[in-house]
């Protein structure tokens, strides 16, 4: 899943996961979990995440390599938020080659900056299970409480306006150029990030077959 912050990558990844029974590997959630547990990687990652910078490739590649070697991913997986730099894309190529796997699709989720800024201020996330809500388009059943696990919902630290602006710049500089890398392979599929939520399953099934 490739696209700017807040475009809806995580939301679409979860729908694809439900449609096809394929697990999602979300680097943002894995890093937030490492921060919450206070691991060595988490302590390093926290400052970068709070500022809206990319966590160093060395750490992210290590975390992803470890996760992708787990047995539950043998039949395939969805990568949400990885790769985000040339060095990460190189690492992914190496990992896939070692395992005899290939990328089937790169889903490019598109959304303009203004819509993103408006959207992220209304996002609420569950720090316990990773479920994501929106105060208008996908509100939780009880205000401030996760439908899935009953934990309290939060506004992420990096969803403050000045951090959102910086995340968008970082996306344009480091991540967006990856689209050129995958263009030649003919595997990019564009999905509008503002497609109505109830239409997404049909659209994604049409695109992915």
Q: Could you give the CA distance from residue 70 to residue 51 in angstroms, rounded to a whole number?
A: 31
Kindly state the smallest distance separating residue 206's Cβ from ligand AP5, in Å: 15
Q: Could you give the CA distance from residue 86 to residue 177 in angstroms, rounded to a whole number?
A: 8
Kind plus residue range of the DSSP H or E element containing 25:
strand 24-26
Cβ atoms of residues 65 and 95 within 8 Å: yes
User: Is 138 one of the catalytic residues?
Assistant: no
- Helix ranges restricted to H, 69-199: 86-99, 113-120, 161-170, 178-183
User: Is 156 one of the catalytic residues?
Assistant: yes
User: Is 97 one of the catalytic residues?
Assistant: no
Eight-state DSSP code of residue 145: B
The nearer residue to ligand AP5, 26 or 186, going by C-beta atoms, is 26
The verdict on 82 binding ligand AP5 (CB under 6 A) reads yes
The verdict on 41 binding ligand AP5 (CB under 6 A) reads no
Q: Could you give the CA distance from residue 27 to residue 16 in angstroms, rounded to a whole number?
A: 17
Please identify which of the residues 46, 119, 123, 174 carries the catalytic annotation: 123
Kindly state the smallest distance separating residue 144's Cβ from ligand AP5, in Å: 14
**Known catalytic residues?**
9, 84, 123, 156, 167
Contacts to ligand AP5 by CB under 6 A: 3, 5-11, 27-28, 31, 48-49, 52-55, 60, 81-82, 84, 88, 119, 123, 132-134, 137-138, 158, 167, 194-195, 197
């Amino acid at each position: 899943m490739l696209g700017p912050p807040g475009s809806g990558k995580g939301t679409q990844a979860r729908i694809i996961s439900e449609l096809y029974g394929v697990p999602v590997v979300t680097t943002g959630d894995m890093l937030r979990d490492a921060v919450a547990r206070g691991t060595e990687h988490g302590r390093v990652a926290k400052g970068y995440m709070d500022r809206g910078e990319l966590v160093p490739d060395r750490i992210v590649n290590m975390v992803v390599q470890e996760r992708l070697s787990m047995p539950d991913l043998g039949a395939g997986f969805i990568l949400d938020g990885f790769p985000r730099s040339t060095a990460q894309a190189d690492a992914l190529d190496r990992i896939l080659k070692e395992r005899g796997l290939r990328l089937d699709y790169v889903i490019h989720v598109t959304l303009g900056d203004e819509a993103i800024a408006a959207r992220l201020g209304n996002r609420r996330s569950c720090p316990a299970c990773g479920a994501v809500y929106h105060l208008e388009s996908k509100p939780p059943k009880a205000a401030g409480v996760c439908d899935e696990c009953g934990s309290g919902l939060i506004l992420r630290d990096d969803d403050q306006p000045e951090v959102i602006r910086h995340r968008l710049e970082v996306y344009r500089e480091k991540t967006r150029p990856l689209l050129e890398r995958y263009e030649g392979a003919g595997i990019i599929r564009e999905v509008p990030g503002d497609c109505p939520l109830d239409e997404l399953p049909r659209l994604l099934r049409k695109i992915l077959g």
